[in-house]
Amino acid sequence: MNDPRPLRTLAVGLGPIGIAATRLALSRRSLAVVGAVDLDPAKEGAELASLVNADGGAGAASRAHNDGAVHVERDLERALDRLAPDLVLLCTSSFLPAVRADLLRCAARGVDVVSSCEELLFPALQHPDMAAEIDEAARQGGASILGTGVNPGFILDFVPVIASAVAYDVTGVRGVRVVDAGKRRLPLQKKVGAAMTEREFRDLVAQGKLGHIGMRESVALVGRALGLELEDVAQTVAPVIATEERRTPFLTVAPGAVAGIHNRGIGRSGGRTVVELDLKMFVGALDPRDEIFLDGDPPVHLRFEGGIFGDSATAAILVNSARQVVDARPGLLTVLDIAPPRLAR
Amino acid sequence: MNDPRPLRTLAVGLGPIGIAATRLALSRRSLAVVGAVDLDPAKEGAELASLVNADGGAGAASRAHNDGAVHVERDLERALDRLAPDLVLLCTSSFLPAVRADLLRCAARGVDVVSSCEELLFPALQHPDMAAEIDEAARQGGASILGTGVNPGFILDFVPVIASAVAYDVTGVRGVRVVDAGKRRLPLQKKVGAAMTEREFRDLVAQGKLGHIGMRESVALVGRALGLELEDVAQTVAPVIATEERRTPFLTVAPGAVAGIHNRGIGRSGGRTVVELDLKMFVGALDPRDEIFLDGDPPVHLRFEGGIFGDSATAAILVNSARQVVDARPGLLTVLDIAPPRLAR
């Protein structure tokens, strides 16, 4: 808890999450953003501070130790070799196969990674061989690699597991997250399918182009961490249909159209559902909240009033986990393997 | 998260908390209780399983790897040298000076320690020299030492710090714990002063014989972990006076008598209160709960409905932190330095 030197951080991936996390990192004295990488040719050579501020950020982007102007480059290996950073903030994709090569590049150089890649929360669920390969490379190279975020990464997985600390036994876990998408940015409203027809929604879900990524990873992590011995992890994705007209600053949802998404993750043990994570994000949702119920001895019921605001929370958790990842043992880690995240100044 | 061999555990201190933690440890396949130490001559030579079960515990006290009968002994050093345990579960005192010698004995032998000692949550607050001595000995000997519990150790310190993971900034922390002492054991009702006169209560507080230990340690830990730069940590202890008669299964509180205790911990920075932890434990308390409010960006409001049941929770957290302490680096650690606690099977 002392004040060690700032972590020399390389920002990789400057989409909305990467921009938000980088903007926050630039404002922290515990981190120094020394470089930035993005594949988009339109961003190449751009000054990081202006890119970050153009995206609507607060003016906190310049601090003494970030004075040297950082320009966006395209080649990760070259940036890693030139800068030898302590940490990569990797926000390029939700899917493990798409981040595998970059993780191996970092692992080979012993550079620690915090990533928003949703599948990286529990990569062994869908990609066991790839997870083993990355873990082995990270151990060999002396790199600690973590996937985290607010969901997955905190609300529906980390929090219920931590709540079990006060229990003698846990026989079941239920998590409920309700988000009023009407109070969020347009990209989130689009992501949940607001204003689509039910047919459009179902087509996009079938194509894997709509929906929340990482739900099954949350279920698997909870099951593993609490010793629930899941034999089966599944999910359902369904539309929430509007029963009355709903207007947001960006769009209007007509009655009968899709207001948003209902995503359930289910973990079964002995034929019984023992983990149920229920996520509803739709325009007009009442009583937005995050709630965790542990069945057990004693039962535990935990509630974040109003819910955790997701737009900023993932950026926050990435930055607020950085020091803990750097301090952790090498390997492919989970949010339960490192010291817990907390506000980084 | 694999299934390593059970931690060979030595139970030290068989008062109510030690008994509860030992009973739980005996029921876990991840721990093997290989010895027990208590200074009470009446307990010397007693069989641990019967001692634990006589205290009203469930029948889970015998498991295959605990088959060898454990008898209570008095000499800690002899037990450490004979058994060479992985872990000591230390539940002898709330105060650092009273556990110092035993911690040094464990540290010298490289034996990790999880303790319910309240001052050990943040020992540098009241005993900086002793904390440095123990830390140095633990590093030298290769031992990891942790003080934890439900309060201090979880509700009013660990939880608010973890909640800050989703935040860009935290400017203030308020914690509220309300316990209906009428629903708890007689020792807890006595500990909070129920049925005393206000005069008796104040005399005992002045003598340091009444009240919650560890409140200031919670404030200090929160302040340090969130970078709030506290210049001052203080507490107040006051009686809650009954306005009507209250009966518990054990005692009756008359109107005008003490129903329980109100303990406030305050941390100030720049002349302003930035941490306020408010604990009320009294007979007849309405709306028992644990609540955390973070002022900041964004604000966070978290609530454990009904409150966390304290009698069992401290025993649970001690056992549910064991593996994480053994896996941690050597030294005098805080609950924020290790992987977070979770249900141990």
pLDDT in tens, chain A (345 residues): 456 899 999 999 999 999 999 999 999 999 999 999 999 999 999 999 999 987 654 444 444 345 568 999 999 999 999 999 999 999 999 999 999 999 999 999 999 999 999 999 999 999 999 999 999 999 999 999 999 999 999 999 999 999 999 999 999 999 999 999 999 888 889 989 999 999 999 999 999 888 789 999 999 999 999 999 999 999 999 999 999 999 999 999 999 999 999 999 999 999 999 999 999 999 999 999 999 999 999 999 999 999 998 878 999 999 999 999 999 999 999 999 999 999 999
Question: Which residue in B1, B334, B338 is closest to A225 by CB distance?
Answer: B1
Q: Hey, what are B4's tokens?
A: 């390593």
Instruction: Name A265's Cβ contacts closer than 8 Å, sequence gap at least 6.
Output: A156, A215, A216, A218, A219, A233, A234, A235, A275, A276, A277, A278, A279
How is B77-125 classified by DSSP, letter by letter?
HHHHHHH--SEEEE-S-SSHHHHHHHHHHHHHTT-EEEE--GGGGSTTT
CB contact under 8 A, A150 and B167: no
pLDDT of residue A209: 83
Complex ipTM? 0.94
Average pLDDT, chain B: 94
Helices marked H in chain A: 16-26, 48-54, 76-83, 96-108, 128-141, 158-163, 186-191, 198-206, 215-225, 310-320, 322-327
- Decide: helix, strand or coil at residue B313: helix
pLDDT cut 90: percent of chain B above it = 88
pLDDT of residue B310: 79
Question: Which residue in A227, A339, A342 is closest to B226 by CB distance?
Answer: A342
CB contact under 8 A, A343 and B167: yes
CB contact under 8 A, A316 and B1: no
CB contact under 8 A, B302 and A302: yes
pLDDT of residue A266: 98
Contacts 24+ apart (CB under 8 A), A76-82: A76/A12, A76/A37, A76/A102, A76/A105, A77/A105, A79/A10, A79/A35, A79/A37, A80/A10, A80/A105, A80/A106, A80/A109, A80/A111, A81/A109, A82/A35
pLDDT of residue B5: 92
pLDDT digits (tens, 9 = 90+) for B96-114: 999 999 999 999 999 999 9
pLDDT of residue A58: 46
Question: What phi and psi, each to the nearest 5 degrees, are found at residue A123?
Answer: -65, -25
Q: Which residues of A touch B334 (CB under 8 A)?
A: 1
Higher-scoring residue by pLDDT: B326, B64: B326
Question: Which residue in A150, A165, A340 is closest to B317 by CB distance?
Answer: A165
Question: What phi and psi, each to the nearest 5 degrees, are found at residue B56?
Answer: 95, 15
Confidence tier at B62 by pLDDT (50, 70, 90): very low
CA distance to partner chain B, nearest, from residue A341 (Å): 5
Collect all residues from B whose CB is shorter than 8 A from any CB in A: 1, 24, 150, 154, 158, 161-162, 164-170, 224-227, 297-298, 300-306, 308-309, 312-313, 316-317, 320-321, 334, 336-343, 345
pLDDT of residue A336: 98
User: Contact at 8 Å (CB) between B130 and B123?
Assistant: yes
From residue A291, alpha-carbon distances to A127, A264, B173 in Å are 29, 14, 21
pLDDT of residue A67: 53
Question: Which residue in B168, B321, B341 is closest to A316 by CB distance?
Answer: B168
CA distance to partner chain A, nearest, from residue B282 (Å): 21
Domains present along chain A, CATH in parentheses = 7-150+313-333 (3.40.50.720), 158-307 (no CATH)
CB contact under 8 A, A305 and B308: no
pLDDT of residue B67: 53
CB contact under 8 A, B165 and A321: yes
CB contact under 8 A, A298 and B309: yes
CB contact under 8 A, A161 and B302: no
Q: Which of A3, A30, A122, A166 to mutate to test the interface with B (most CBs of B within 10 A)?
A: A166
Phi-psi region of A288 (alpha: psi -120 to 50; beta: other; left: phi over 0): beta
CB contact under 8 A, A340 and B316: no
What is the β-pairing status of strands B72-73 and B31-37? parallel
Find the closest chain A residue to B339 by CA distance.
A339
CB contact under 8 A, B341 and A154: no
- Angle at the Cα of A89 from the Cα atoms of A88 and A92, rounded to 5 degrees: 115
Q: Which residues of A touch B171 (CB under 8 A)?
A: none
pLDDT of residue B56: 55
CB contact under 8 A, B302 and A305: yes
> How far apart (Å, rounded) are the C-alpha atoms in residues A282 and A279?
10
pLDDT digits (tens, 9 = 90+) for B63-101: 434 556 899 999 999 999 999 999 999 999 999 999 999
Instruction: Name B29's Cβ contacts closer than 8 Å, sequence gap at least 6.
Output: B6, B63, B65, B345
Using omega within 30 degrees of 0 as the cis cutoff, is the peptide bond preceding A298 cis? Answer: yes
Find the closest chain A residue to B151 by CA distance.
A166
pLDDT of residue B68: 67
Q: Which residues of B touch A317 (CB under 8 A)?
A: 165-166
CB contact under 8 A, B154 and A165: yes
Check whether B140 has a pLDDT greater than 80: yes
Cβ neighbours around B68 below 10 Å, total: 8
Q: Which residues of A touch B340 (CB under 8 A)?
A: 158, 161-162, 165, 336, 339-340
Question: Which residue in B226, B316, B342 is closest to A168 by CB distance?
Answer: B316
pLDDT of residue B64: 39
Instruction: Name B34's Cβ contacts closer than 8 Å, sequence gap at least 6.
Output: B8, B9, B10, B70, B83, B85
> How far apart (Å, rounded) are the C-alpha atoms in residues B308 and B215?
17
CB contact under 8 A, A170 and B224: no
Question: Which residue in A165, A309, A317 is closest to B342 by CB distance?
Answer: A165
> How far apart (Å, rounded) are the C-alpha atoms in residues B324 and A148?
20
Instruction: Name A152's Cβ contacts closer than 8 Å, sequence gap at least 6.
Output: A118, A121, A122, A214, A215, A217, A218, A221
CB contact under 8 A, B164 and A225: no
What is the β-pairing status of strands A289-297 and A169-180? antiparallel
> How far apart (Å, rounded) are the C-alpha atoms in residues A267 and A272?
8
CB contact under 8 A, A226 and B342: yes
E strand or H helix at B23? helix B16-27
User: Contact at 8 Å (CB) between B321 and A165?
Assistant: yes
CA distance to partner chain B, nearest, from residue A2 (Å): 9
CB contact under 8 A, B167 and A316: yes
> How far apart (Å, rounded) are the C-alpha atoms in residues B145 and B121?
10
Find the closest chain B residue to A290 by CA distance.
B302
> How far apart (Å, rounded) are the C-alpha atoms in residues B17 and B319?
12
Work out the average pLDDT over B151-169: 97
